[in-house]
Structure 1
Amino acid sequence: MNINPWVPPLVLLGAAFIVLLVGEPSDPVALGLASFSALIALTGAVQSAAHGLRPAAAAFYLFWFAWLGVGPIAQLTLGRVAWGDTRALADPAAVHLALVLTALAIACFSIGDLATRARASRPSLAARASIRPGVHALVVAALMLVGLNAVRVLGLDSLFASRTERGDALDAAGGSLSDAGGVVYALYTVLPSGLAIAATLLGLYRLQLAARSFARVHVHELGLFLVGFVGLILFANPLSQTRFIALLAFGALVLAALRPRTPGAGFVFLAVGAVATLLLYPLASAFRRGSFSAAEVTADTFASADFDGFQQVVNTLSYVQTHGLAAGHHLLSAVLFFVPRSVWPDKATIASADVATHAGYSFTNLSLPIHAELYLQFGGVGIIVGMVLLGMLASRVDSAWLHAPLSKWAMLAPLVSMAMFGVLRGPLGAQVPAYLPAILILLVAVRSGAPPTPGSDPVADYRVHPAGAR
């Protein structure tokens, strides 16, 4: 077996970091389970870079290590969690079960990832895709119409104000986040950012494909890209949008433009991702207030609201024990987010709000880790099946990214990779509406091509051109 020489020292370094966090454990079983989950994620992250960057899996493993690895370890060591909730760690049995389910979830994701990776076939992935210019033009036209309407109703200033101020503007327009799922919310928040993300990526891909084939870049193609990019600045900037929508927009754009695929680029991705998830992620929440300081990040940061994922797993167990399983009600409501409650009175509220309300929190705009939501819907079977399928999806996208850079799946990879952060953080009722429009547009706008001729190498063909991978 060919092992990258960087893998053992990086895994050992991460393990040492975990041991340093643990200190003197008051509950060795709990800290052992939390450390096991963190080590699975750390090993998966390093493996996702060792033989070429696999961005979807790397992003998922990285955020899991920081948010559901380092976070719980710090909370168990400090003996406290977010919101001053003294009950979340009071029941050792519930804590242990939550940690077992967390370790099971990341293990199932890894199984799906590695099993699909082993079966990946380069020839089946190597079809050359193209962009449907008519669909791209329609997306840009829709962005201009929807965007101008959003600017007219919300005001241009609100698009560069803090998220709290933008939320006030949205409430004034009748699109309160508490009523997420209405048509107004979709028109003013979801659609503008989704259309801008899709329009920008489609424009970038058209420019790259033209450069690859040494074709002339037309002015209108550059114009369509620029319109999309202006849309990103207006509707997906980190000042007024959530961290996860801003990351989806600009992270996917950078990934698609640079196309990092080598092991060296993979380890740079891991380094940047580690800094982003452990430092920049909590700092970014300051955009809600409009001010921040790097000094705000201390050991207590990992027991703050930005790392509320583990306690929400514990809270989910309590919710299910009282109310039973939801049988997919929240998931269906997430996918059909655009249906107003006036039409669907039984439409579920966001799952994390139900869990937080049951826990007695006054503030219910919290996270809900993907495996906790799967457990809420379908129990342990939901965790096993859902996490294996998610790992398979990540591996499928990553294999295309590495071995078939001109394929439709490879063009979806930047979006899917950045979406992994939000999917993990949850709840799906908040993340699916943010991600689904852009992904669906790309699925329609990108046309799958014919496989390359026998003997050709699509990766080598792509690398020799200016827009190729680096």
Structure 2
Amino acid sequence: MTSVHTSAHGSAVGKTVDQAVDTAARPERSRARGGPPEPPERPIAWAMLSRAVSVPLILGLVCFLPAVIAAQPGSGVRDTAYWLQLVLTCYAGARLATMILSTRRRLLQGVFWMFVYIAMGVAPFAQVVIGQTPTPAVGPRSDLVTAIAMILVGCAAFDLGALLASRRPLRRRTPSARSTSGPAVAHPLRLRLLVLIAFVASGFYVLKLGGPAVFFSSRQEISETVAASGVASTESNVGSAFLKGFGTVPALLALLFYTRRLVTSYRARRTPSTVLVWGGLAVLNLVVNNPISNARYWFLTVLVSLLFTAFPSSAAIYRTVLATGVVGALVLFPYADKFRYDEEGQRTVQSASVFEPLATKDYDQTVMFANTISWVDTRGHTYGRQLAGSALFFVPRAVWSGKPEDTGVRVGQWMGMRMTNLSAPLWTEFWVDFGATGMAGGMALIGYAAARTDRRYALAVTRAGPGPGSVLAIAAPLIAGYTFILLRGPLLQAAGKLAIAALCLLLITTFRERRAVRRR
């Protein structure tokens, strides 16, 4: 194995990290499993294919779609906000096209640019053209101009952080005969404990809400049932968050680990107990994590993480998720809240244009950033208080009387809105605490961490072997799916499930593995 790693490192000149590791490690892994060597990738064939699709893809994302939106009738004014939004849309479209056409599978960066292109590019551009927004803008037009400019700055900072991460070499841990320390992997016995926790926690969640039938009604009925159960109080939603979190997150993580085990191990696919456990987890997730009783962003997390786990090395699946995600978000997502309310409370959507729902539903990220700028102008920055409230989400308000509320809720209350379940994108969270400088620095750190995680993930999936395997091979797809929620915000709402996932991963993680070199 030492020679394989040396060969991979030597051939990495002029190639990406995952290309080099894939090319060198694939035949060795195949021989270790007793099968014929897998054929190497064909970069020349893919280069020809990428050239064939790159021109229409780039033209479609950067030129055609913005031009179609610009031609829509509306009362929008073509001022500075219009042109800045057009630049942001084209910039995000170009970066998304780069992610789709790349030979590397950059999960976190790809999902980031897909979100930016849709929620902070195309949709706000349609709102500027049509002259409507899902949430009213209460401040002056200059605050909207500032918001769009700061989103652009944040995107550039994200790219800068990713560029710095790509310049720093990765440290690879290669176990030796004297040392058994290696990458973080899932301990088999602890994984079984996670499965037990998943069934117990989800079973309690289902029983507490009155049985499986409630999960196939509507989100409104779920919320009412949780409120009637006495778990949540009028002063704090910590109990409700923990009930939902432990009822859904361990079940998803256990399913992801067993999915990876079946994908990477022929022996596991031939073991009836493993297949039965996977089937039970699939049924459990169908109940607690179905799209009817869960928020659309959470179901996207489930779907994206499952796809990336089931096809860890498939570039086609990666590109398909990014490409079809744009179409689904623009055409289907505004209509996907059919099960949010019951039949009496169901809101119907009537639209004469495919772009009108983008201006009237869901995508309020940019206008909420503008409203947040107006709010901060009246009261000043909080200098870390909002982020501290998100990090200490688990502290009840009975203990911390001055615990900050969701950023979206606080801004909504200041605006006088009755419905305060409003977004607070990640740019907003940094802006509230630290202003423009802190926002740029925060986004640069996010870009750096995303790029490093993507590179580590590319190495982790190439080391696939029998058993649960690398924890990062599961954590990265989960974070990629959860990126939609983190970027949309508020962070206080998103922190609960993320912390529960981290606890579950810590529970099953071990840094011990079998010795790579046996004594003769």
TM-score by structure 2 length? 0.78
How many Å separate the matches in 2 of 1:69 and 1:322? 28
One of 96, 116, 132 as aligned partner of 1:80: 132
Structure 1 position 60 matched with structure 2 position 112: yes
How many Å separate the matches in 2 of 1:451 and 1:395? 29
How many Å separate the matches in 1 of 2:335 and 2:478? 23
How many Å separate the matches in 1 of 2:272 and 2:115? 40
Which residue does the alignment assign to 1:237?
A: 290
How many Å separate the matches in 2 of 1:251 and 1:186? 22
Which residue does the alignment assign to 1:466?
A: none
Offset, 1:137: 2.1
Distance 1:449 1:204, change over 3 A: farther
Task: Using the TM superposition, name which of 378-387 and 434-443 deviates more.
Answer: 434-443
One of 58, 62, 73 as aligned partner of 1:15: 62
One of 310, 321, 326 as aligned partner of 1:269: 321
Offset, 1:260: 4.5
Which residue does the alignment assign to 1:414?
A: 477
One of 216, 222, 228 as aligned partner of 1:172: 228
Give 1:360's aligned amino acid. Answer: G
Q: Is the 8 A contact 1:352 1:364 kept in 2?
A: yes
How many Å separate the matches in 2 of 1:223 and 1:177? 39
Q: Is the 8 A contact 1:123 1:451 kept in 2?
A: no
SS in structure 2 of the partner of residue 391 of structure 1:
helix
Offset, 1:365: 0.6
Which residue does the alignment assign to 1:313?
A: 369
Identity of aligned residues (%): 26
Task: Using the TM superposition, name which of 340-349 and 312-321 deviates more.
Answer: 340-349
One of 236, 241, 250 as aligned partner of 1:186: 241
Q: Is the 8 A contact 2:204 2:247 kept in 1?
A: no
Q: Is the 8 A contact 1:110 1:391 kept in 2?
A: yes
SS in structure 1 of the partner of residue 369 of structure 2:
helix
Task: Using the TM superposition, name which of 229-238 and 383-392 deviates more.
Answer: 229-238
Offset, 1:448: 4.6
One of 231, 250, 253 as aligned partner of 2:306: 253
Distance 1:278 1:440, change over 3 A: farther
How many Å separate the matches in 1 of 2:475 and 2:174? 13
Give 1:106's aligned amino acid. Answer: C
How many Å separate the matches in 1 of 2:137 and 2:363? 15
List runs of 5+ in structure 1 lacking aligned partners: 455-470
Spell out the pairing of 1:269-308 with structure 2 (5 A cutoff): 269-289=321-341, 298-308=354-364
Q: Is the 8 A contact 2:160 2:447 kept in 1?
A: yes
One of 42, 45, 49 as aligned partner of 2:93: 42
List runs of 5+ in structure 2 lacking aligned partners: 1-13, 16-46, 176-181, 464-469
Offset, 1:21: 1.5
Which residue does the alignment assign to 1:462?
A: none
Which residue does the alignment assign to 1:381?
A: 437
Coordinate RMSD, CA, aligned: 2.9
SS in structure 1 of the partner of residue 339 of structure 2:
helix
Question: Of the two, which has the highest radius of gyration?
Answer: 2
Task: Using the TM superposition, name which of 58-67 and 34-43 deviates more.
Answer: 34-43
SS in structure 1 of the partner of residue 404 of structure 2:
coil
Which residue does the alignment assign to 1:356?
A: 412
Q: Give CA-to-partner distance per residue, 1:134-191, whole Å, 9 cap, x none.
A: 2222222222322222222211222222111111111111344965542x21342111
Q: Is the 8 A contact 1:62 1:273 kept in 2?
A: yes
How many Å separate the matches in 1 of 2:195 and 2:397? 29
Q: Is the 8 A contact 2:407 2:429 kept in 1?
A: yes
More helix by share: 1
SS in structure 1 of the partner of residue 77 of structure 2:
coil
Which residue does the alignment assign to 1:403?
A: 459
Which residue does the alignment assign to 1:425?
A: 488
Give 1:169's aligned amino acid. Answer: T
How many Å separate the matches in 2 of 1:299 and 1:396? 36
Q: Give CA-to-partner distance per residue, 1:13-37, whole Å, 9 cap, x none.
A: 2222113312386233212211222
Q: Is the 8 A contact 1:180 1:337 kept in 2?
A: no
TM-score by structure 1 length? 0.86
Give 2:256's aligned amino acid. Answer: L
Which residue does the alignment assign to 1:334?
A: 390
Offset, 1:426: 0.7
Q: Give CA-to-partner distance per residue, 1:357-383, whole Å, 9 cap, x none.
A: 111211101111110111112211221
Offset, 1:353: 0.2
Which residue does the alignment assign to 2:504?
A: 441
One of 92, 107, 117 as aligned partner of 2:156: 107
Q: Is the 8 A contact 2:143 2:373 kept in 1?
A: yes
Q: Give CA-to-partner distance per residue, 1:390-444, whole Å, 9 cap, x none.
A: 1122212221333331344333221011011111111111112133312442244
How many Å separate the matches in 2 of 1:73 and 1:279? 15
Give 1:392's aligned amino acid. Answer: Y
How many Å separate the matches in 2 of 1:11 and 1:452? 48
Offset, 1:387: 0.9
How many Å separate the matches in 2 of 1:98 and 1:445? 42
